[in-house]
Amino acid sequence: MSTYDQFAFIYDSLMSDIPYDKYAEWVQDKAPVSENKRLVDIGCGTGVLSVKFAKAGYEVIGIDLSESMLTVAQNRSLEENVNISFLCQSMAEIDGINDADIAVIAIDSINYLETLEETEQTFARVYDCLNDGGQLFFDIHSLFKMDNIFLEGPFTYEDDQVAYIWHTEQGEEAHSIYHDITFFVRGETGYYERFEESHFQRSHPLEIYFDLLQKSGFSNVSVSTSIFGEQSEDEVERYFIHAIK
């Protein structure tokens, strides 16, 4: 199994503190299933949100760049007895999707785009796949989190099956971070296997995201900080953005 395969299969345990139900509720409150049916879950990962949306009654298409993540997502959809179409695509190169009512790019997936050009292209591709009146939901890391919280590392985690040491380093671009994570995963024999993952994330001021959304044609752009619970005004870690075509 490759290291990325390994990462896909332990991803859920590492994301166990994410309140996915609150994310789904945010989308459902703004775009009730009775009014909006077709939902594209972009950067769907292992399909946790995709399954929640499908169970709520949406027609779901899940998109991710990782085939390993999609394998886990497909298995999850079969186990949960829901019908979801999965496509292996980059969010900046979405193709072949039309007549969608809702697009979701959840859990800071946007922050994995390395350039403003990729971000603008993603918004343009999403705009093209939505019906008139279609809605886009996504979230981003705040600059406070990028420039302060992430730099408080290293961070550690341990449970019965997985342990990791997570080092962070400031990137060359403004408000960017390199994540270097060393995992120790317990196998069936009881021995731990070590592997490493490296990731890059970058964020931008809210005004830049608003400008790019409006340039792509979106309107009625709004932002919230309370979807996962109230955050201190001076120490907001995540912004939730909603826009309409």
Residue written as token pair 């912004």 = 239
Q: Report which of residues 160 and 5 the model is more confident about.
A: 160
Model confidence over 48-90: pLDDT tens digits?
A: 999 999 999 999 999 999 998 999 999 999 999 999 999 999 9
pTM value is 0.92
pLDDT over 80 (residue 121) = yes
**Lookup: tokens for 226:** 């309370």
pLDDT over 70 (residue 115) = yes
**Lookup: tokens for 206:** 């809210």
**What ranges make up the beta strands (E) of 37-161?**
38-42, 59-64, 85-88, 100-105, 130-141, 155-158
**pLDDT for the residue 16:** 67
**pLDDT for the residue 49:** 97
**pLDDT for the residue 212:** 98
When pLDDT is averaged across residues 173-183 and rounded to a whole number, the result is: 93
Q: Please, which residues have CB within 8 angstroms of residue 227's CB and are 6 or more apart in sequence?
A: 22, 23, 26, 139, 240
Q: At what angle do helices 48-56 and 67-79 cross, to 10 degrees?
A: 40
Give the residue among 126, 118, 92, 90 at the shortest CA–CA distance from 204.
118
Model confidence over 132-161: pLDDT tens digits?
A: 999 999 999 999 999 999 999 898 888 888
**pLDDT for the residue 12:** 65
Model confidence over 180-210: pLDDT tens digits?
A: 989 888 888 888 888 888 899 999 999 999 9
